[in-house]
């Protein structure tokens, strides 16, 4: 009598890699950006709540537990003629990174100007932002692991899987304004005749991030 072999256990292991996947579309507050040239991810005067959407056009390549490395090329603001002032560097700057899971924008991580703080606060998704909220020039990596399967959502008339990056605290500078003129000891100066407060003009201090390119590497063990 001939006995056929029996399979009691079968394990298949594989590793998938996709490199240099293009971000096909990007929007600032749902306004389309031209990715063929450097762009301001939050506009030229970023404010609280401004949002960058990144289109994962190759969304079929991305799945739960996959790790995405965004290669972000940040332009040195001084090379673009942007003057950095004291008010341009806000230590409270926060960017929240989220993706659409079909029901809500799920948090991936929070960027700050302090990499150690980012890693401490958002370690669950292996989140790491070496751009320090788009403030470090050169090509830097933003890394995270997807905790769930990304789903399709319509943003700006485009159906795709999206990464959302939003300013949730701080800023990249302030609008121009008039502020009270003060003596060295902090006393507000007043007009000798009318006693009205004297004001001085304070120029805008915006130093918006400027990005040359973004590509995505993806891996799944």
- 189 pLDDT exceeds 90? no
Average pLDDT, the chain: 83
Q: Nearest 5°: phi and psi at 216?
A: -125, 135
Per-residue pLDDT averaged across 84-111, rounded? 89
Predicted confidence at residue 19, as pLDDT, reads: 60
In angstroms, the CA 152 to CA 45 distance is: 30
* DSSP 8-state secondary structure symbol assigned to residue 115: H
Predicted confidence at residue 81, as pLDDT, reads: 85
Contact criterion met (CB below 8 Å) for 130 and 118: no
Per-residue pLDDT averaged across 186-212, rounded? 86
Contacts of 82 (CB under 8 A, 6+ apart): 206, 207, 208, 210
| Of the candidates 140, 80, 79, the residue with the CA atom closest to the CA atom of residue 111 | 140
The distance between the two most distant Cα atoms of the chain, rounded to a whole number of Å, is 118
CB atoms within 10 A of CB 203: 12
Q: What is the fold of 16-177+207-220?
A: Jelly Rolls (2.60.120)
Predicted confidence at residue 188, as pLDDT, reads: 85
Beta bridge partners of 182: 188
Percent of the chain with pLDDT over 70: 83
In angstroms, the CA 165 to CA 16 distance is: 26
Each residue's pLDDT tens digit, 34-93:
999 999 999 999 999 999 999 876 655 567 778 889 999 999 988 988 877 777 778 899
How many residues are listed for the chain in this entry? Answer: 221
Predicted confidence at residue 74, as pLDDT, reads: 96
Predicted confidence at residue 11, as pLDDT, reads: 41
Of the two residues 33 and 89, the one the predictor is more confident about is 33
Predicted confidence at residue 12, as pLDDT, reads: 37
Predicted confidence at residue 48, as pLDDT, reads: 95
Of the two residues 211 and 56, the one the predictor is more confident about is 211
Predicted confidence at residue 102, as pLDDT, reads: 92
């Amino acid at each position: 009598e001939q006995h056929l072999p029996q399979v009691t256990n079968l394990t298949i292991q594989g590793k998938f890699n996709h490199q240099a996947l293009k971000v096909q579309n990007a929007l600032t507050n749902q306004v389309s950006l031209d990715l063929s040239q450097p762009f301001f991810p939050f506009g030229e005067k970023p404010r609280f709540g401004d949002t960058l959407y990144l289109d994962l056009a190759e969304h079929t390549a991305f799945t739960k537990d996959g790790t995405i490395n965004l290669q972000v090329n940040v332009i040195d603001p001084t090379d673009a003629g942007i003057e950095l002032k004291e008010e341009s560097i806000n230590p409270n700057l926060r960017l929240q990174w989220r993706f659409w899971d079909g029901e809500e924008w799920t948090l991936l991580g929070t960027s700050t100007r302090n990499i150690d703080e980012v890693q401490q606060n958002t370690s669950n998704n292996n989140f790491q932002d070496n751009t320090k909220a788009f403030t470090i020039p050169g090509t830097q990596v933003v890394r995270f692991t997807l905790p769930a399967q990304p789903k399709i959502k319509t943003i700006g008339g485009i159906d795709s899987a999206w990464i959302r990056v939003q300013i949730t605290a701080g800023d990249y500078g302030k609008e121009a304004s008039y502020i009270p003129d003060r003596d060295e000891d902090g006393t507000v100066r007043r007009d000798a005749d009318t006693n009205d407060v004297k004001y001085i003009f304070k120029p805008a201090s915006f130093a918006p991030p400027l990005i040359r390119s973004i590509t995505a590497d993806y891996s799944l063990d």
